[in-house]
DNA sequence: TATAGAATACCGCATATGGGTGATTGAAGC
DNA sequence: GCTTCAATCACCCATATGCGGTATTCTATA
């Protein structure tokens, strides 16, 4: 058997924290010697003996779990963070993974699956509750069908590289006037009126 | 028990296809009455009786599995696609989820887990092999270290909404001059020189 | 306490940009 | 043969933008 997986818990509700601690510490292959009811204490004490995996709640008094991951991750880059929360809104999910959480479980996850998730994280995976995974995967899906012509997409691509009309015109061997005409049509089709919006839309809708 | 989950397989290797068909069709709660060794045939026949889940290989003769998902998804928007492939490069993974695959398994996944994944997909999840999930989650992680101040990030956010200096100034109750000063600093820090580039960088590096 | 950085504010200048309008050409489709 | 549309080019005008400066205030933090 491999080395025991060292787990820490940050969770403000005593009952849940104690229950989780008991479950983890009582399971062979896992240990949980550190638990906190807020991020501030964790920030002061956790880095002294970094765990392999941290189970992190989001709705905490003081520093939120998301902010906590960001700060703790700096001190313990080798530790994986697994969110364990009731929050299932997009903002919480995406902010969590953006700051470095490697997994995201909802609190209705049965204990056996939480243990499996901890092991999974430790092995290099990213366990997520089914609905969370779906949302993350869906976020990649292209919302196709913007009726931009080939040429317009080409120009949009140049725009995204920060090139101005003149440069684009030179690269495409057309006049600046033409580039501007294309831009006007692109703006109309994308329903925007500035370069900034066009770039945003181009990236978010994966046109480019 | 719920309705049987109807599964279809698209996989060019006969042995694997037959084996998978047998495993799925032989498992209670699952049926597999349709299997193809290429996307072309699937495109002609599958939509007549859309399955719940399609297990899709990527490396196929003719139309690739990724292109196949894109085309089939148009015809059968209610069907979920689960990639089952040896390809574990970033391009395959991200292209798959971008065209609409809802799960991604590597071929070394044991049959029991494949069955579980099919069920998971059908329930609204997005099963992924551990290393795949990690890669997708990691793709969100902000490569921090853009030392933008809070205020600068706030201004960048407004920029991404297509607002110009004047509008941003009004919204933040500061003068246009100040907004422009902030922009200068933002450009310096991001090493860009236009709004378009700034927006691109802001989105790609998830600063906003 | 000294220093750095953040946020604020201002000036001037050359150029880029967005809006409006209009025209020609060639290929695709009816 | 006619229509439509993408692609090309053109002009006018008001404003926005990027770049070069300079300066004050406040707050961390070394």
Domains of chain A: 5-127 (3.40.50.2300), 131-207 (1.10.10.10)
Alpha helices in A3-63, H assignment, sequence order: 14-25, 39-45
Mean pLDDT of residues grouped by 10 in chain A (208 residues)?
86 94 94 93 90 95 89 88 94 87 94 95 94 88 69 90 90 92 90 91 76
| Per-residue pLDDT, A144 | 53
Classify residue B128 by its DSSP letter: B
| Per-residue pLDDT, A100 | 87
Q: What is the dihedral of CA A180, A182, A183, A188, to 10 degrees?
A: 130
Size of interface A-B (CB pairs under 8 A): 131
Within 7 Å: CB of B183 and strand D? yes
Give the pLDDT band (50/70/90) at residue B139.
Answer: confident
Give nearest nucleotide to B164 (CA–C1'). Answer: D16
Within 7 Å: CB of A146 and strand D? no
Q: List chain B residues with CB under 8 Å of A162.
A: 192-194, 196-197, 200
Q: What is the pTM of this model?
A: 0.77
pLDDT tens track for B62-96: 889 998 998 898 888 899 999 999 999 988 998 89
Has residue B1 got a pLDDT over 70?
Answer: no
| Per-residue pLDDT, A74 | 80
Q: Where are the beta strands (DSSP E) in chain A?
A: 5-10, 30-36, 53-56, 80-85, 103-106
- Residue B176 near residue B169, CB atoms below 8 Å: yes
Classify residue B47 by its DSSP letter: G
Classify residue B205 by its DSSP letter: T
Has residue B147 got a pLDDT over 70?
Answer: no
Tally of residues, chain A = 208
Interface test with A, best of B69, B162, B164 (most A CBs within 10 A): B162
| Per-residue pLDDT, B31 | 95
Q: d(Cα A159, Cα A130) in Å, to the nearest integer?
A: 38
Within 7 Å: CB of A158 and strand D? no
Tell me the pLDDT of chain A averaged across its residues: 90
In chain B, which residues touch A (CB < 8 A)?
94, 97-103, 120, 123-131, 133-134, 136-138, 140-142, 144, 159-164, 192-200, 203-204, 206
Classify residue A191 by its DSSP letter: T
Could you give the C-alpha distances from A164 to A23, A110, A183, B157, B203, in angstroms and in order?
60, 55, 11, 22, 20
pLDDT tens track for A36-56: 999 989 988 998 999 999 999
Q: List chain B residues with CB under 8 Å of A98.
A: 140-142, 206
If phi > 0 it is left, if psi is from -120 to 50 it is alpha, else beta; for residue B31 that is beta
Q: List chain A residues with CB under 8 Å of B123.
A: 130
How far is C-alpha A15 from the geometric centre of its chain's CA atoms? 28
Q: d(Cα B109, Cα B58) in Å, to the nearest integer?
A: 16
Give the pLDDT band (50/70/90) at residue B121.
Answer: very high
């Amino acid at each position: 058997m491999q080395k025991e997986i060292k787990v820490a818990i940050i969770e403000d509700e005593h009952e849940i924290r104690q229950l989780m601690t008991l479950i983890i510490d009582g399971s062979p292959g896992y240990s949980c010697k550190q638990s906190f009811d807020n991020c501030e204490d964790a920030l002061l004490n956790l880095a002294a003996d970094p765990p392999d995996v941290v189970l992190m709640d989001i709705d905490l008094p003081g520093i939120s779990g998301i902010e906590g991951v960001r700060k703790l991750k700096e001190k313990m880059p080798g530790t994986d963070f697994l969110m364990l929360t009731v929050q299932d809104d997009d903002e919480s999910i995406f902010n969590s993974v953006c700051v470095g959480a490697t997994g995201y479980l909802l609190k209705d996850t049965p204990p056996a699956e939480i243990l499996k998730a901890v092991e999974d994280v430790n092995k290099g995976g990213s366990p997520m509750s089914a609905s969370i995974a779906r949302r993350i995967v869906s976020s990649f899906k292209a919302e196709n069908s913007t009726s931009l012509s080939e040429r317009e997409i080409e120009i949009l691509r140049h725009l995204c590289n920060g090139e101005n009309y003149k440069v684009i015109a030179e690269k495409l061997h057309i006049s600046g006037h033409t580039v501007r005409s294309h831009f006007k049509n692109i703006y109309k089709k994308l329903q925007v009126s500035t370069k900034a919006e066009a770039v945003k839309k181009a990236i978010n809708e994966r046109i480019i």
